[in-house]
Amino acid sequence: MISVIILGAGNVAAHLFNAFDGTEQVHVKQWYNRSIKSIQSYKNKVVITDDLSQLEKADVYIIAVSDDAIANLSTKLPFENRLVVHTSGSVNVHDLDKKNRRGVFYPLQTFSKAATLNFENVPICLEVLDKADLKTLKSLAKTIGSSTHKVNTDQRRALHLAAVFVNNFTNQLYRVAHEITESKGVEFDILKPLILETAKKVQDISPYMAQTGPAKRNDKKTIKKHLQLLESAQHKAIYELLTASIQKTHGRKKL
């Protein structure tokens, strides 16, 4: 049995609580948040508190607060030499107060409040300063079915940055597509199977191998037609830049 105390009340904190709460191998001893209101609805499931001085002893303290608040919260912890981790993709592990053993427990996934998430689909990137702590964090991730990946700070930052491309930016391309279809009164829904298939394809083959389309073929006629169709200057700019990027990757001349 691994005992855990969660600090913070955002999406990551809530999803981690629900996942740990669903396994017998983890005991969430307490859930702390600065404002008790945000976690009030969990009070029948776990001891909630807004008082750091009340924190009990646990195997792992998980700080799941916004990036800017991590360092400060870690200095306020009223104990020493315990394992304290944060869940951020970009904050340095050394930003945690050195009075405790420090680590990172970074779940690489998109979290929204509503959707329930199966942690089998959430790879967790681990970083520790003391090797002995790696075992604890691995065991903890394993209880909820997550795969674990030992990464250094540079690698974690690269993953966080790459995640912005495959998640936020990809989602914005979906949004642009939504605007394009809407402008002609055609359902965005028709694109949904293609969106899913595009994501599925790179589960098995590399994005390089998966590429198709007018940019890769250097089909100038279609590219020209598409640019004429685009009404927004920003959409045109995105089209041109990503077409150039594809052609650079696949060794075509620039537009």
Determine which residue in the list 45, 57, 174, 224 makes contact with a copy of itself, applying CB under 8 A: 174
Q: How would you label 115-146 residue by residue, b for 16+ Cβ within 10 Å and e otherwise?
A: eebebeebbbbbbbeeeebeebbeebbebbeb
Containing 195, the helix (H) or strand (E) segment is helix 192-204
Closest CA to 17 of 40, 38, 36, 45: 45
Report DSSP letters for 80-114, one per residue: -SSEEEE--SSS-GGGS-TTSEEEEEEE-S---SS
- When asked if residue 161 is in the footprint of a copy of itself (CB under 8 A), the reply is yes
Are the CB atoms for 105 and 137 separated by under 8 Å? yes
In this chain, which stretch among 2-10, 72-80, 127-135, 171-179 interacts with a copy of itself, using CB under 8 A? 171-179
Question: In the chain, what is the straight-line distance between the N-terminal and C-terminal CA atoms, in Å?
Answer: 60
Determine which residue in the list 94, 98, 171, 220 makes contact with a copy of itself, applying CB under 8 A: 171
Q: Which x/- pattern, by CB under 8 A, does the window 177-216 give for a copy of itself?
A: xx-xx-xxxxxx-xxxxxxxxxxxxxx--xxx-xxxxxxx
For 44-189, where are the alpha helices, taking DSSP H only? 67-75, 132-143, 153-163, 170-183
Determine which residue in the list 115, 116, 132, 253 makes contact with a copy of itself, applying CB under 8 A: 115
Distance CA 87, CA 63 (A): 7
- When asked if residue 24 is in the footprint of a copy of itself (CB under 8 A), the reply is no
- When asked if residue 113 is in the footprint of a copy of itself (CB under 8 A), the reply is no
Q: Which of residues 215-244 bind a copy of itself (CB under 8 A)?
A: 215-216, 219, 221-222, 225-226, 229-230, 234, 237-239, 241-242, 244
Q: Which is nearer to a copy of itself, 139 or 170 (CB)?
A: 170
Residues near 67 by beta carbon (within 8 Å), at least 6 away in sequence = 88, 90, 91
Determine which residue in the list 98, 175, 220, 224 makes contact with a copy of itself, applying CB under 8 A: 175
Give me the least distance between CB of 200 and a copy of itself, in Å please: 7
In this chain, which stretch among 2-10, 49-57, 132-140, 152-160 interacts with a copy of itself, using CB under 8 A? 152-160
Q: Which x/- pattern, by CB under 8 A, does the window 120-139 give for a copy of itself?
A: -xxx-x--------------
Are the CB atoms for 234 and 246 separated by under 8 Å? no
Give me the least distance between CB of 234 and a copy of itself, in Å please: 6
In this chain, which stretch among 41-49, 54-62, 127-135, 157-165 interacts with a copy of itself, using CB under 8 A? 157-165
- When asked if residue 77 is in the footprint of a copy of itself (CB under 8 A), the reply is no
